[in-house]
A and B are shown apart, each in its own frame.
Chain A
Amino acid sequence: MVERVFQRPADALGEITNHNDAYSIDGLQPTAVCLSDLQGLSDALSEAAKDGLAVAPWGGGTRAAIGNRPARLDRILDLSRLSRIVHYNPADLTATVEAGISVAELQRHLAEQGQFLAIDPPLPDRATVGGTLAVGGSGPTKWQFGHPRDLVLGMKVVQADGTVVSSGGQVVKNVSGYDMARLHVGGLGTLGVIAEVSFKLTPLPQGEATLVAAFDSTTRCLAAGLAVFHSVVTPLALAAYDAAVDERAHVAPVKGHHLLAVRLGGRPLTLQRALRECRSLCHQGGATTVEALGEADAVAAWRKLADFGWDEATAPLMSARASVPPTKLAEIVETIANGDSPAALRCETLCHVGYGTALIHWFADGPEPPTHAIAEVATRARKAVHAVGGRMNIERCPLPVKAGLDMWDQVGEPIAIMRRLKEQYDPGNVLNPGRFVGGI
């Protein structure tokens, strides 16, 4: 059902007091509707379509900065109360949940049964399952497949006209009809609103341990990370970060210029062996220190690494996410972080080693540089990423910078298929218009 239509964002904020500009996207402040069930969401969409209102689905609002500035925005559809666990049978290792459940709440339920969902977004207390999928990128946890889309078994989506459609199923092996969910993971709600998702779950490892190793160069740090990636050990997570990240977020009590964190899981003997292997690989790779973290420190470290750049304490001026072949990470980090910069910005990086993701954050220590200089920093970084066969999307930047710079990297010829998809599924162009690639 549709609970209330709020005219001013502040009215909608009974619970979310720490977020003063709630529901604002790039300075636009639309009206908002809170929905608490599928029918309400369907009604809200068909009503909006009838009135030609541009809508944006909203989960926890943690990554509302992502995308180009909307071409139009009239109404927010707040799904955070669409948060039931529809079906969970631990013995099947699958769960079906409504899109508005927060990732942390879902993980709490799953943990009671010794299981987890291998996705790891920033700010999981607020980030919702639906929002995390719509944004698409993965966190440091790379267990199993690494990308959230690989954990989705089925999906219920509400289309622009309010029609509810399903695809996939609730079982782990399925080739029945097209795998439509793939379009919505990373689709930023531009083809439909994710309403319900079935996931593949993973048993929590019997035990866990985290090692942090310090190195005196980016190259050595990332090479040691790759050595772990190529070894017999399969870590749960493998992240490299620089000293500046550590200074800002106080990641772990291990200090050094360039740090590598390895998260391991398994039964006791397995864990001991994996720790031995990783320690030895780090030492061979020239680590100046290798330390195992205590349990509380390890939990905190991984939380801070996932949140970095998205919580208030570490909010950068501009953030980008580059995806490159894993062996090219060191090269782009060196080029982008240590090269000449056209603006007085400090660059801090965090890499998912072995997976090829670099999260690049720029901070202004002094006054904010001029818009054109910030844009030039992003453009140069993107060129460096292209040079190694990768892509880079900008995930956050000052609003004036968005005006002259595409947040999304180019997608090449397939843009024609993408535009036709938009015409097929949202002919009235009411779902998040203008925020996605190529102005979709």
Chain B
Amino acid sequence: MTDQNSLITELKAIVGDTYVVHEPDDLIVYEYDGSVDKGLPLAVVLPDSAQDVSLVVNAARTHRAPIVARGAGTGLSGGAVASEGGIVIALTRMTRILEVDVENRIAVVEPGLVNLELSNAVSGHGLYFAPDPSSQKVCTIGGNVAENAGGPHCLAYGVTTNHVLGMEVVLADGSIQWLGDRTRESTGYDLRGVLVGSEGTLAIVTKVILRLLKKPEAVKTLLAVFKELDDASAAVSGIIGAGIVPAALEMMDDLCIEAAEASVHAGYPDGAGAVLLVEVDGLSEAVEEESEEIQRICRQFGPMEIRTATDAGERERLWAGRKGVLGALGRLAPNYYLVDGTIPRTKLVEVLARIKEMSVESGFPIANLLHAGDGNLHPSVLFDERKPGDTKKALEIGGRILELCVEVGGVLSGEHGIGLEKQEYMPLMFSEADMNAMARLKPAFATGDLFNPGKVFPTGASCADVFQAAVSKVGPGAWI
């Protein structure tokens, strides 16, 4: 028996034959995540408990097979792409809500639980889980933890790390430990805190204790349409400057509007150059006072139209254009490269102008969708992979946008993570010493580089080469 076969036999003994996928045809569905890279693992294992995970980790370590943990595979930076010849631990069977403690506003869940299902399950208690990445109908809590996921509403309520109290994890030596607990203040180093956003490189999460928030009494959504992008950006600054931190503050440019109009018929006026979506929530008085102030600020910048909605159905219609836009980009070009970076809010006008210049110079249209409130940009470079050389050029434009983000004081990733996609860009933000300090977390967690090797840190290859292996197809399966 070859070593590979004996590993597969061991894995089957742990989780049962049904839950080890190793035939090449079956493995293909696990080859991709939401990004553009791919890798074919030796086997995919679907454990049902922390004990299973621990035994799988022990078996893989003995056979020197690297491990990649995977949730729903919606990540956009290649974090869940398998290592060639390694093991994928798919956590999609571990979906239980183990406990909801309404009085203390805590939920204990397994990592394979889908984000939105948690909010749905606790909704009857007037509670919800705040991080709401756009993929929340399919992405898992474990994946949210690995990538420190955000979402439109993290402007007011914070990203995943602000909502994780404790985690049960399996370390590379197979031991099962708790980092953090049900209380808000930790003793010793905040290991829970460094693990969130570590992209699956330090441990495998098998249970998570989450904070739940109470649902607001009232919610109001405002949609303001402007002729010029600059006016919309100025309105964003005005709203924040007035001391309002809305629950969400989203923006899209003319190309996005064109695409959304064509696909979901959002009813935006002709000649619209930018759409701003603002959501406020809280006490009904706060919602009224803040929405009035926001409308007053928007009117200063000559909007073409302002619409408001308070009931759920109407609010959903205002959001429809924004939520459908990525799928709609397919009407404009066969492919797109979706970039994720964050800049200081005050640099919005400057950075959008420079992205426009890049688009004009290169001849590649760039559609801009922004979580404007927190400066998180999602420019999409539109291209056609059938034209020789265009894929590489599109990726290079993406790289230049990231360089620009860092140049104005921003960062390489707002919410998608570094993964494979951006590992070669890390030196733009961090010195050798900075990265060396980060890399020492691996020996501290004694990972032996077993978990998700070759990710996050630069390898010295060129970004475009690493990333050109495949390119995202436009479609409804991608979220931001």
Contacts and interface: CB of A to CB of B under 8 A. Distances in A.
Interface of A: 89-94, 114-115, 136-138, 144-147, 149-150, 157, 159, 163-167, 169-180, 182-183, 185-187, 191, 202-206, 226, 230, 232-234, 266-270, 272-274, 321, 323-327, 355-357, 389-391, 393, 408-415, 417-418, 420-421, 423-425, 436-438
Nearest to B127: A230
A267 B294 CA distance: 13
B20 interface: no
A90 B433 CA distance: 31
A440 to B, nearest CB: 8
Nearest to A231: B214
B73 to A, nearest CB: 18
A203 B245 contact: yes
A409 B104 CA distance: 22
B426 A414 contact: no
Nearest to A420: B444
B478 interface: no
Contacts of A226: 103
A149 B437 contact: no
Interface string B24-44: 000000000000000000000
A93 B413 contact: no
Given A183-B190, A389-B181, A413-B177, A89 B438 contact: no
A352 B416 CA distance: 35
B346 A203 contact: no
Nearest to B175: A413
Given A173-B342, A417-B191, A421-B444, A412 B178 contact: yes
Interface stretch (B52-60, B158-166, B221-229): B158-166
A92 B345 contact: yes
- The size bracket of the interface on B is 35 or more
Nearest to A354: B105
Nearest to A326: B104
Contacts of A164: 433
Contacts of A412: 177-178
Nearest to A205: B243
Nearest to B419: A175
Contacts of B413: 174-176
A254 B244 CA distance: 33
Nearest to B292: A267
B350 to A, nearest CB: 13
A38 to B, nearest CB: 13
Specify which of B194, B241, B426 lies most central, judged by the most chain A CB atoms within 10 Å of its CB. Answer: B194
B430 A177 contact: yes
A268 to B, nearest CB: 8
B162 A409 contact: no
Specify which of A93, A137, A391, A436 lies most central, judged by the most chain B CB atoms within 10 Å of its CB. Answer: A93
Specify which of B158, B188, B194 lies most central, judged by the most chain A CB atoms within 10 Å of its CB. Answer: B188
Interface stretch (B251-259, B280-288, B324-332): B280-288
A176 B344 contact: no
Given A178-B194, A325-B101, 16 more contacts: A91-B237, A93-B345, A147-B185, A166-B430, A169-B410, A171-B410, A175-B414, A177-B429, A203-B243, A270-B286, A273-B284, A273-B285, A357-B185, A412-B178, A417-B191, A418-B188
Specify which of A89, A92, A178 lies most central, judged by the most chain B CB atoms within 10 Å of its CB. Answer: A178
A177 B103 CA distance: 35
Contact of B444 (A89, A150, A424): A424
A234 B376 contact: no
Contacts of A417: 171, 189, 191, 444-446
A187 B193 CA distance: 12
13 contacts: A89-B346, A92-B375, A145-B158, A147-B185, A150-B161, A174-B342, A176-B412, A205-B243, A272-B285, A321-B185, A412-B177, A418-B191, A423-B444
Contacts of B285: 266-267, 269-270, 272-273
Contact of B188 (A91, A145, A267, A414): A414
Interface string B377-419: 0000000000000000000000000000000011111111110
A350 B414 CA distance: 39
Interface stretch (B113-121, B146-154, B269-277): B146-154
Contacts of B416: 175
Contacts of A408: 187-188
A193 to B, nearest CB: 13
Given A270-B286, A412-B177, A174 B183 contact: no
B286 to A, nearest CB: 4
Given A175-B413, A178-B198, A179-B161, A324 B430 contact: no
A437 B187 contact: yes
B150 A357 contact: no
Contacts of B411: 169, 171, 174, 176
A327 B96 CA distance: 24
Nearest to B126: A230
Contacts of B182: 325, 389
Given A203-B244, A418-B188, A421-B189, A169 B194 contact: no
B104 A138 contact: no
Contact of A267 (B289, B417, B445): B289
Contact of A172 (B186, B241, B375): B375
Contacts of B429: 169, 176-177
A167 B433 CA distance: 10
B431 interface: yes
Contact of A165 (B194, B290, B426, B434): B434
A80 B301 CA distance: 45
A140 to B, nearest CB: 13
Specify which of B101, B193, B445 lies most central, judged by the most chain A CB atoms within 10 Å of its CB. Answer: B193
A146 B184 contact: yes
A173 to B, nearest CB: 4
What are the 6 tightest A-B residue pairs by CB atom distance, in nearest-first order? Answer: A182-B193, A203-B243, A411-B188, A323-B183, A323-B185, A169-B411
Contact of A147 (B184, B198, B244): B184
Contact of B438 (A145, A167, A169, A390): A167
B343 interface: yes
